[in-house]
Amino acid sequence: MALMGYARSASRVHWHIYGVLEDTSPHAFSPALGQAGAISALSTLLFFALVVFLLWVVIRVSRHFGFSTQYFFLAPFVHWVVSLPEKLPVPAARQVSKQSSPLWKALASACGLLIFLVYLSYWVPQLVSLPPKKVAFDPTQIKTKADLAEAGKQLFFGKAQCALCHSVEQTEAPRAPAMQGLGAKRTREYIYESMVKPEAVIYKQYAEEGPAKLFSSQMPIINKPPVDLSETEMLAVVAFVQSLGGQVTVEPEEVKALIPVSASEKVRDGN
């Protein structure tokens, strides 16, 4: 069940770690399914081994002579353990049973099952979710509308964190409206207003049977903290949304005109 949940939520973990927490350290990655299966199997084995060991200790101690419930407290228990060598009787000779204990059979079966599950997990294509590289948005490098839409796509799946709730294609249980085909249905002004004033329009789901209901997520204001997109970045996202089924009306020159003079000089000087 743990491996099924890991495989199902791998994509959400990716965006939560890198998009929300913005943890791009070398250790912030989602391991491949085989590695995750091996770690889960080892953790399970250690857990049950510890449980069996504790049960074995409790049963052996409780059956020992002179044992009392007072030894459940630390000080009397330590005193009783220290005095055991003086009270131990001479063990009588006994025959060793040739039949293996049912406990060892159960442990061997559990270990075999864990090894088999780990073996199966390595048959799945091993994909490691590595931290993404942060790419700065540079409007001066945009030459065409296609470049602008591609830059908006990087922002959509990166800094803007839109993909945390919005998917491009329709999903079974959407948290927010899907973006596919939205460029042909909505104007540029409508898309822009939806990002700066998300409360202006109440979105509902109509694809399901029964009365329409609100989406589960609540959209933040994109040009304010914590997302805090600049005006040029906002227009790039608008261009990407327009490209999903519609015509891009945002011009590259329009975006470049919004660059502050000081920032453009730094880019031109190579700083």
Domain span at 257: 139-269
Provide the CA 243 distance to its chain's centre, in angstroms: 29
What pLDDT score does 266 carry? 45
On whether both 107 and 213 belong to a single domain, the answer is: no
* Number of other residues whose CB lies within 10 A of the CB of residue 185: 11
234: burial class by Cβ within 10 Å (0-12, 13-18, 19+)? Answer: buried
| Whole-angstrom distance, CA of residue 267 vs CA of residue 244 | 30
Q: How far is CA 154 from the centre of its chain?
A: 19
Position 127 in a domain: no
Q: Do 55 and 143 fall within a single domain?
A: no
The residue type found at 31 is: P
Q: Are residues 155 and 255 in the same domain?
A: yes
**pLDDT at 242 (0 to 100):** 95
The per-residue pLDDT for 32 is 72
Residues 83 and 147 in one domain: no
- How far apart CA 254 and CA 246 sit, in angstroms, is 19
pLDDT for the residue 94: 52
Do residues 174 and 108 share a domain? no
Positions of the chain with pLDDT under 70: 1-31, 61-100, 127-134, 173, 202-217, 261-271
Instruction: Judge if 77 and 146 occupy the same domain.
Output: no
49-97: pLDDT as tens digits: 888 888 877 777 666 665 555 555 566 666 666 666 665 555 555 554 5
pLDDT of residue 241: 95
Question: Does residue 108 share a domain with residue 181?
Answer: no
Phi and psi dihedrals of 204, rounded to 5?
-130, 160
**How many domains does one find in the chain?**
2
Same domain, 112 and 171: no
> Domain for residue 177, yes or no?
yes
Closest CA relative to residue 169, chosen from 159, 158, 182, 160: 182
CA distance 43 to 23: 25
Residue-level pLDDT at 253: 94
